[in-house]
Structure formats: structure tokens, C-alpha cells
Amino acid sequence: MLELQDISVIFHPGTIHEKVALSHINFRIEEGDFITIIGSNGAGKSTLFQTISGAIAPYQGHIFLHQQDITSLKEHKRSRFIGRLFQDPLKGTAPSMTIAENLALAGCQGHYFSLKPILAKQRQQMYEALKELNLGLEERMDTKVGVLSGGQRQALSLLMATYAKPQLLLLDEHTAALDPQTASKVLELTDKIVKKNQMTTLMITHNMQDALTYGQKIMIMKEGQIIDVINSERKKDLTVEQLIHLYSSKTNDYNDRILL
Amino acid sequence: MLNQVVVIGALELGSIFAIMSLGLYISYKVLNLPDLTVDGSFTLGCAVSAVMTLSGHPVIGLILAFISGLLAGVVTGVLTTKLKIASLLAGILTMTGLYSVNLKIMNDSPHISLFDCSTVFTPLSVFGEYGVLLFIGVVVIVVTLCLHYFLKTQFGLALRACGDNEDMVKASSIDVDIMKMIGLSLANGLVSLSGAIYAQHQAFSDSQSGTGMMVIGLASIIIGMAFIKKDQMAYQLLAVIVGSIIYRGILTIALQIGIPSTDLKLLSAILVVVALILTKVKMRRKEVC
């Protein structure tokens, strides 16, 4: 469904600060794929996401979504079919607006000039959706999001990013800023929502266990290139130790963080 | 000292400035953009309204003033979003440009007197001394109700999100630039409408009428929020109106105890500084507790 053709991203081209962030990426993502992405800092994982979502224009190459060239489509227009979630829980929600108001925004995909208030029917849908999070947020729909905890906000962000059923979901280390318990809860929620809606998903993670547990494929990135894609066949019998070994031998990266 | 005429006069002016403060609330609070166009667009409203009143169309004057304010806001919006000029500078540029535009509208004379002209207030004399206040009060209530409804609609929510968390809005499918433009436009439309009513109320328009209006609006919002602390939309809008009236009240008392009117702008500035410091001190106390 998503195809990257010869995508390169270069920051500050032609200056002494020139940095190649992505180098000739060619990749196809099939409908319904759930791919985890691992790689050290600066490998180009986030840049890849920003290029797909339109925040960064590639130096060369083309991006196709359902055979349609979206390379020059603006970021906010792509957002209609691409849902995104960031590491920082503060980034995905508007703090001085209520839970219901935040969800209403997430649900109206494209119809932003409508002069209709939130209808009772919409509130009922929100209630059902919030209930599935199992955090009791459905009883606090008129609470300002700013008073929620980081985990609650991230769970809400997740719900918002997936509320309008995007065709593609991009998760950029969305549990890295949470405590381990909350992180695993948010990950389980993620898995549940993705499976239920059969959403095509890319998830960046630094946690090898998570990379193994979730999704069908693992993509390893290094210095702006995809150096390996582990398909579900190979992934099935892989252990964390083997994955770490594979990763380290491929990337020569033995830093502590990745061993966690 | 404070006789009935003075009190009613203060309430009338306070209510007129409340419309402007509601406009400023959109740019300053909702969009989180300090918009200095206000000084220019207020005068723009005065000028359009005065010229139309002179030619015998006071009501059309108010409507045209509102529309021209909308356009002035769009200019600032385009400067700051499409041309990437910092919002403060964009406002100052529009305000400076408007100075000449306003003089052109007023036929190159810096002062227009509407003495003996029929204004929107003329037919209200049948209601006695409260007629004017009644009219302005109705306008304020209608504007507030419309604004309250609007800010709760899908469109209004998108506008509020732009000022609340731009990162989130950029990742959603809202066009931030368009939202900012529309918000600034609406804000200046209200400011200009306020200027238009002010000109007919005071029976003159001056090329300097709008000087310091940004500070007055800001003072009203800060004072109002200091008194009414609830953060539901309805209370916030109410706070803006109450703040405008209290602010006008303070100025009226200052005038009554003999402070010369030329010192009022200095007093306004000091008032804003004091109010800002007070809110900071309060926040720090809260953090300590």
C-alpha cells in the first residue's frame, strides 16, 4: 500500500553541515503489515516517519500510497490517511481542551469548517471508544486533558490518532517516555486497536523485546539505510538474545541502551 | 462624586470596549498570538463608521466597519503565516499601514466630528437615559453568545487547538495557516466593530483613536481573569466583559479624583504591569503550596 522509491533526505545540502539522513531508501509496505523498526540514534528512523508524513520533503525519490504519488502532498492533507503518535505524551493532545473536545477534533477528519457543535451521538461514540481503553476516562469526558497523567494522555493520543481509522499508523517510540508498567499497557492497547482495525502500522522502538513481541516484521536501520528486514518466517523462532546478536553484528552497535 | 450620569457613561464605554476585548481574546488567548493590528483596526472601525454616519448611513457604517476589520486581520494573517513574518512584527506592519489607510478613508483630515449627525444612538433617546446602554448591552450579549457557540463547534475547536498545541494540530489534518488567518480576521473584525460603535458614541473619529487599544484590551482580559477564575468557555468570555467594565470603572474613578486625562495611557500601562505581576506572584504561591 505504501511504497518508497529511491528516497533520499539530506539536511543542509551544499553546506559544511550537510548530513545525509536517508540514503536511497526503497521499500514496500503491504496492506495490514505491522512492522517494528529498530536502529541506533541517528539511523534515520524518525526522519523516515517525517518523510512519510510530509513534515520533511525528500531531496529525491517518490512516495506512493495506493499507487498514487503523494510526494508533494502537504502534511495536513496526508494526515487524513496517516495517523501519528510521538514519544512526548504532551504532543498529541491539546491540554486546555476537554477529553471530549480533543476526541471531537480527532473524529472530524477534514470537516474542520463545520459549524456544528458536538452532538449527543458523537459523545456516545466517544464514550464507547474511551471505555475500550479501560482507564475510566469515559467518566471524565469533560475533564481538561492537561490534568491527566502522561500515560493517560498517551493512551488518549493513541485513541485520537486511530479514531478516524487512518490507513497508515506511525508510532515513533510512543511508549519511551512512560514508566514500564504504563508502557506495556499502552503497547497492549496499541496492539488491540491495530488488530481490531487491521491497520497498517510502523512502530519505532528501542526495546528488543517489544520489537519481537509485536508486529510481523522487523526492520533494522543504520546510517540512513534499511540494512535488514526480518520477515515473519524468520521472526517466529527468534529470541531476544539472537535479535540483539543479529542487530549488533549488522550495525556494529553495542551500546547499553539497545541491550535493555 | 460618582453621579448616575458618570456611572452610566462608564458602563457604556466599558461595554463598547468589551467587544474589542472579546476580539483580543480570540487572538491573544485562543490563538496565543499577540496581535498588534488592534490599534490600527480600532481606528479603521472609527473611520469607516464616521464617514458612513456623515453620509447618513450609521447602521451600514457598523457593518462595513466589521467587514473592513475582517480584511485587516486577513492582511496580518497572510503576513505572519504565508510570508513567515513574526506575528508581533506582522501586526505592527499592518497597524502602520492602516494609519495611512485610515487617513485616506477620513478624506485626509485627522479628525471628523459627528456633532449634530444622526447616529445609531439617535432613535434610542425614546428609552431615556438607559437607551444607549441597552443597545450596547444587546450587542455585547449577541456577540458573546455567537462567540460562545462558535468556539464549541468543530471549527471553533480546531481554532482553539491551534493556540493550545500547534504540534498536535500539525500532525492532524487541520491547516494551521488558514485557522490563524480566520482567527485573526475575526478578532480584528470585532475590534473594528467596537471602534465603529465608539466613534458614533463619542460623536467623533480621530486618526489617533486606536492608540493604546491593545493595552486596554489586554488589561481587561487580565483583570477579568483575575476575578473570575473558572476556565469553562462561558466564564472566560464573561471574565473578559467584566474585566472591560472594571477597567473602565478604574479609569473613571481616576478621572473623577482629578488625574488629568493625558495621564490615562500611562496609568493603563502601569495597571497591566501590576496585574501581570500579581498573577505571576499568585502562580508562584500555588507552586509552593
The predicted complex's ipTM stands at 0.82
A182, A232, A240, A230: which is closest to A207 by C-alpha?
A240
B153, B205, B170, B180: which is closest to B73 by C-alpha?
B180
Amino acid identity of residue B197, one-letter, is: I
Q: Which residues of A touch B155 (CB under 8 A)?
A: 112-115
Q: At what angle do helices B131-152 and B176-202 cross, to 10 degrees?
A: 180
For residues B136 and B15, the answer to whether their CB atoms sit within 8 Å is yes
Q: Which residues of A touch B233 (CB under 8 A)?
A: none
Taking only residues 52 to 111 of chain A, the set having a beta carbon closer than 8 angstroms to any beta carbon of chain B reads 53, 55, 75-77, 79-80, 84, 86, 90-97, 101-102, 104-106, 108-111
Is B161 in Cβ contact with A105 (below 8 Å)?
Answer: yes
pLDDT confidence of residue A260: 46
Closest chain A C-alpha to B167 CA, distance in angstroms:
6
For residue A144, the 8-state DSSP code is B
Amino acid identity of residue A2, one-letter, is: L
Q: Return the C-alpha cell found at A8.
A: 533520499
- Residue A188 CA to residue A216 CA, distance in Å, equals 15
Q: Which of A79, A116, A144 sits opposite B154 (nearest CB)?
A: A116
Say how many CA atoms lie within 13 Å of B93 toward its Cβ.
Answer: 14
pLDDT confidence of residue B137: 95
- Residue A232 CA to residue A175 CA, distance in Å, equals 23
Radius of gyration of chain B (CA): 19
For residue A55, the 8-state DSSP code is S
For residues B52 and B60, the answer to whether their CB atoms sit within 8 Å is yes
For residue A208, the 8-state DSSP code is H
Q: Which of A79, A91, A94 sits opposite B161 (nearest CB)?
A: A94
- Residue A88 CA to residue A86 CA, distance in Å, equals 5
pLDDT confidence of residue B113: 92
Closest chain B C-alpha to A92 CA, distance in angstroms:
5
Mutation site for A-interface testing, chosen from B30, B32, B157, B159 by largest number of A Cβ within 10 Å? B157
pLDDT confidence of residue A139: 92
Backbone φ/ψ region at B116: left (φ over 0), alpha (ψ -120 to 50), beta = left
Which residues have CB under 8 Å from B169's CB, separation 6+? B158, B161, B162, B176, B179
In order, the DSSP letters of A81-129 are TEEEE-SSGGGSS-TTSBHHHHHHHHHTTT-TT---B--HHHHHHHHHH
- Nearest residue on chain B to A49, alpha-carbon basis: B171
Is A111 in Cβ contact with B168 (below 8 Å)?
Answer: no
pLDDT confidence of residue A202: 94
Specify which residues B104 forms β-bridges with: none
pLDDT confidence of residue B160: 93
Mutation site for B-interface testing, chosen from A74, A96, A98, A143 by largest number of B Cβ within 10 Å? A96
Q: Which of A95, A110, A113 sits opposite B155 (nearest CB)?
A: A113
- Residue B162 CA to residue B156 CA, distance in Å, equals 10
Measured in whole angstroms, the distance separating CA A104 from the mean position of its chain's CA atoms is 21
Is B172 in Cβ contact with A79 (below 8 Å)?
Answer: yes
Q: Which of A86, A96, A112 sits opposite B158 (nearest CB)?
A: A112
pLDDT confidence of residue B80: 94
B7-26: b (≥16 Cβ within 10 Å) or e: eebbbbbbbbbbbbbbbbbb
* CA angle in degrees (0–180, nearest 5) for B271-B272-B273: 90
| Parts of chain B with a pLDDT under 50 | 289
Is A53 in Cβ contact with B150 (below 8 Å)?
Answer: no
Is B160 in Cβ contact with A55 (below 8 Å)?
Answer: no
CATH number of the domain enclosing B265: 1.10.3470
Is A80 in Cβ contact with B154 (below 8 Å)?
Answer: no
pLDDT confidence of residue A133: 86
pLDDT confidence of residue A110: 62
Q: Which of B152, B167, B173 sits opposite A109 (nearest CB)?
A: B173
Is A55 in Cβ contact with B172 (below 8 Å)?
Answer: no
Residue with cell 559544511: A16
Q: Which residues of A touch B150 (CB under 8 A)?
A: 115
Q: Return the C-alpha cell found at A131.
A: 471505555
For residue A147, the 8-state DSSP code is G
Domain count, chain B: 1
Q: What is the mean pLDDT of each run of 10 residues along chain A (260 residues)?
A: 90 88 90 90 89 90 90 85 88 91 81 79 91 89 91 91 89 89 90 90 90 89 88 83 82 58
- Nearest residue on chain A to B148, alpha-carbon basis: A117
A182, A179, A49, A167: which is closest to A109 by C-alpha?
A167
Which residues in B have their CB inside 8 Å of a CB on A?
Answer: 149-150, 152-155, 157-158, 160-161, 164-165, 167-168, 170-176, 179, 231
pLDDT confidence of residue B289: 45
Range of the domain at B47: 4-288
- Residue A175 CA to residue B285 CA, distance in Å, equals 34
> Helices in chain A by DSSP H: which ranges?
45-53, 75-78, 99-107, 120-133, 150-163, 180-197, 208-213, 232-235, 240-251, 256-259
For residues B49 and B169, the answer to whether their CB atoms sit within 8 Å is no
Q: Which of B155, B165, B176 sits opposite A115 (nearest CB)?
A: B155
Q: Which of A55, A94, A112 sits opposite B165 (nearest CB)?
A: A94
